[in-house]
Structure 1
């Protein structure tokens, strides 16, 4: 599923493209507990909707408890991440290739060396080919036009992602760090207190 047409979204004076590889950063106005203060990596965007995973919600569940063989391959912390409220019983693996020309069986590119890895692939076939791997339980999904509407109403900022965003050892400050590197007004949001009443 590749984007046939990439919708452009205008927010805070910036024009950003909703496409695979971009980040959705939850705006302060987004209070849905599934997404408050979240950073979502978009994995697929097309006319039918969008799909992504929340990058900053590690779970207490060790990968070794659910997907034994993959524990040796995943980036630290070696836990499942809560990718979103949809399909929480399933798992998606986001991987970064060590070499763009050496993709293992079961790898589907998303952007550059970043892609999705089929967890049915035998672990031994991917060893040595990945720079990073993270496994997400569930995902975030939007129907046709739904994400564009949420961005238009000010729920999300759409910003470029960096490879390090996906595989951070400690994703606690990911929201603030992503906001801090944005141009202009967006960077100001990085300094807001957790409780706006303290402002």
Structure 2
């Protein structure tokens, strides 16, 4: 089994589950025991100041909290691009990883380039993600770290499909509801 850790999963246009339709996920862990990832393009509507004020100074308080997925919605995770990757609790791809739970935010604030705050995550049991891949629910792509942090969330899905190229670039232009076309 090849690991998908550090890869992006782009929801197929046929995936209609409301938790994952038109999402882009970063897979943080993928083993025989299952997988865990974060939905990168679903802002919750809440700002950091409303949910995790203690992150003041580390991220802008008016930044959105993203819905990382439907599992453990009360759990907050911070995905950051680290100047010193050894400071991450766990690296996911390149110098992008999770902020340690016991991090000294004042010390780390100058040691990260950018960060996003997530509530919850996506999770799969043993073999579940592999089965979803086989049925065509997900399109796999190597991440572009700059895209992860800089693109507006509403543009991430179509941008990832365009970057995948070929027929996928055409899918990027597909309306959410093709019957309205």
TM-score, structure 2 as length reference: 0.92
TM-align CA RMSD: 1.8
Q: CA deviation at 1:107?
A: 3.0
> Partner of 2:34 in structure 1?
49
Q: CA deviation at 1:120?
A: 2.6
- Asked if structure 1 preserves the Cα contact closer than 8 Å seen for 2:8 and 2:141, the reply is yes
> Partner of 2:18 in structure 1?
33
> Partner of 2:132 in structure 1?
150
> CA separation in 2, counterparts of 1:61 and 1:119?
21
- Asked if structure 2 preserves the Cα contact closer than 8 Å seen for 1:76 and 1:169, the reply is no
Residue 27 of structure 2: SS of its match in structure 1?
strand
- Asked if structure 1 preserves the Cα contact closer than 8 Å seen for 2:12 and 2:137, the reply is yes
> CA separation in 2, counterparts of 1:136 and 1:154?
26
Q: CA deviation at 1:170?
A: 1.8
> Partner of 2:4 in structure 1?
19
TM-score, structure 1 as length reference: 0.84
CA-to-aligned-CA distance 1:119-150 (integer Å, 9 cap, x gap)? 33121120210011111100000011100101
Structure 2 gaps, min length 5: none
Aligned residues: 181
> CA separation in 2, counterparts of 1:75 and 1:22?
27
Q: CA deviation at 1:33?
A: 0.4
**Structure holding more helix per residue:** 2
Q: Which of 74, 93, 102 pairs up with 2:59?
A: 74
> Partner of 1:13 in structure 2?
none
Cα distance change of structure 1 residues 28 and 76 upon mapping to structure 2, 3 Å threshold: farther
> Partner of 2:94 in structure 1?
112
> Partner of 2:158 in structure 1?
176
